[in-house]
Structure 1
């Protein structure tokens, strides 16, 4: 299943970002530290070009600490990019972000530095903006698509910050990224199926964090596959229906909620190595689809030409 969610205001935001980017000195992209690759918008990367970019790994208090360190090193190895990890509780570290951004454009010292903050929905962008501004100017909440329009903010020390709505992209080609975004709440629940998303999360946690599952749900042993795990969780949490059968939908919602809230501890759902494999695989899939589309279009044109020739021949015979 491929999860897509691209409301109309996101298309508008994309056009607005594209229009003002030439005037921006530094882009600050807020990522979810639990899914740095899947929360990185490829559309923004394309629009940004080689403009300096400070990647902020938000919600790092919910992410695996060792994995966050790996991601910082990996992202920071790219020319023109620096990476910083923050939490909403660590106010001093968030405030330092503006100085980190300023150091990326030393030629602008003594001049006004224009920054733009971007990020997908529900990644913690508004909270960071409010800390940088020193007052509440951006709405915050645990649901995607709260910010609906751009606003420019003076955050002091000669730095202005342009806030933008959280923007996804029209087609999330990597299916795994779709699931991760849904699992962590960056896609509205109405655009996803809890059962499918829970199965994806369960598969990953069984392989990588089985001890967290056992501890949180008080299981003597962790099942080796998704359905038995969700059934075990459902029985522990009282998700029982007729004939003592587990309500998988209710169990799935509980499981996903526990992941989003940090109930299972600090989790990271992808590594740089996973990212590289999935980028290669996704590129192959896109190329395969493009080739199939090309073949389909060629067949369509041939049918059209054949039809035209047949009609012409019919007219000539009647004449």
Structure 2
């Protein structure tokens, strides 16, 4: 299953971001700490590197991510030039309060009344950019919603007399090369629901959780002994919660949404869906080419 989602407004947002990057001193990139690789947009990184701008990489939602794996990713990102990576929860004021000083350290030549620091905040949909903007400005300046792609246009605001920030819409990229990345993005609710089937994504999620976090599943759903794959896990949840349709058949769609919601909300516990070693292994293998019809569909989505 290859998931692709690139609505037309994202293509326009990319062009506008390229223009704004020219007049920007640094970039704040927000990613989901549960999928630190999959939630990084290579298109945004290309724009940043082209202009040679430093980056503050924020691994948000760290409070519901696996702390040991988060540390591995922080070490990896902090070994890269012109980048500072930190783990935060943008719902915690103390975490957000650190950000202005971190930005100033990356750009010591800016940040005065005469030369205010110009920042762009970027990231894919639904990773917490709008929540972070509101916390930084200490007022509601960006719409926050549970669905991806709430923000659709740029806005520039002053953090203080020495710093200004440009908020940008969440952007994915035209073709997600690796099927695993698309599934992780969908599981983490950063892709519009019209682009995938919940049961298929929940099956992938269940497979991964059974192999990496079986004890958390056992705590949440009880009696999973003998459950060996994602399909069986969804069936188990349906039986355990008595999810049935008219006629008595198991309501597997409702059970799939329960698993996805429990992961997304953190109700399952602290989970990360990719380790550095897993991503390194994946990237060492060339991605499978997309079927011709998916390429055509993707082109249509980009033109919407």
- How does the TM-score come out when normalised to structure 1? 0.86
Name the SS for the 1:39 alignment partner.
Answer: coil
Once the two structures are superposed, the pairs formed by residues 147-296 of structure 1 within 5 Å of their partners are 147-219=151-223, 221=225, 223-241=227-245, 244-281=248-285, 284-285=286-287, 289=289
Give the corresponding residue for 1:47.
47
Distance 1:159 1:181, change over 3 A: same
Is contact 1:222–1:229 with CA below 8 Å preserved after alignment? no
Once the two structures are superposed, the pairs formed by residues 60-209 of structure 1 within 5 Å of their partners are 60-110=62-112, 111-209=115-213
Per-residue CA deviation, residues 168-215 of structure 1 (Å, 9 max, x unaligned), is: 111111110100110011011122101110111001000000011111
214-223 or 94-103: which moved more? 214-223
Is contact 2:234–2:252 with CA below 8 Å preserved after alignment? yes
Aligned alpha-carbon RMSD (Å) = 1.8
How many Å apart are 1:247 and its aligned residue? 2.4
Structure number with the bigger relative contact order (C-alpha 8 A, sep ≥ 6) is 2
Question: Distance between the aligned counterparts of 1:155 and 1:18, measured in 2?
Answer: 22
Per-residue CA deviation, residues 242-287 of structure 1 (Å, 9 max, x unaligned), is: 6744222221111111111111011100011112112222xx236x
* Matched pairs, number: 288
Question: Distance between the aligned counterparts of 2:233 and 2:151, measured in 1?
Answer: 37
Is contact 2:120–2:168 with CA below 8 Å preserved after alignment? yes
Structure 2: runs of 5+ lacking an equivalent: 293-304
Q: Which has the higher helix share?
A: 1
Distance 1:48 1:239, change over 3 A: same
- How does the TM-score come out when normalised to structure 2? 0.90
Question: Distance between the aligned counterparts of 1:207 and 1:97, measured in 2?
Answer: 36
Question: Distance between the aligned counterparts of 1:279 and 1:53, measured in 2?
Answer: 23
